[in-house]
Amino acid sequence: MKLKETARRPGINRLPSNLTPRQRALVAATGNDARRGFWAVELLERRDAVARWRGQPGCTIHEVIQRINGLPA
C-alpha cells in the first residue's frame, strides 16, 4: 500500500480491500482515524517483513497499536 493511494482515498472505509484479517482487525482497533489506520497497516507490514527476514515470529497487534498511539498528532 502506498501513501499516494490513501491520500487520494481518505477514510478508514476506503483503505485497500486486499488487507489480511489481521490487518483489518488492527485498522478497526485504531478507530475511524484514517491516518492511524494507514500507519497501522504500514507498521504491521514492515515489522512482519523484518521478523520474517530474521526468522522470527511477527509482531502482535497490541505492539503495533502501542507504537501508533505514540505517534505525534
Q: How far is CA 33 from the centre of its chain?
A: 12
Task: Please give the pLDDT value at position 5.
Answer: 47
CA-nearest of 73, 10, 4, 12 to 40 is 12
pLDDT of the chain along its 73 residues, tens only?
444 444 444 444 555 666 677 777 777 766 666 666 677 777 777 877 887 788 877 767 677 667 767 766 5
Task: Please give the pLDDT value at position 15.
Answer: 58
70 touches 57 (CB < 8 A): no
Task: Please give the pLDDT value at position 25.
Answer: 73
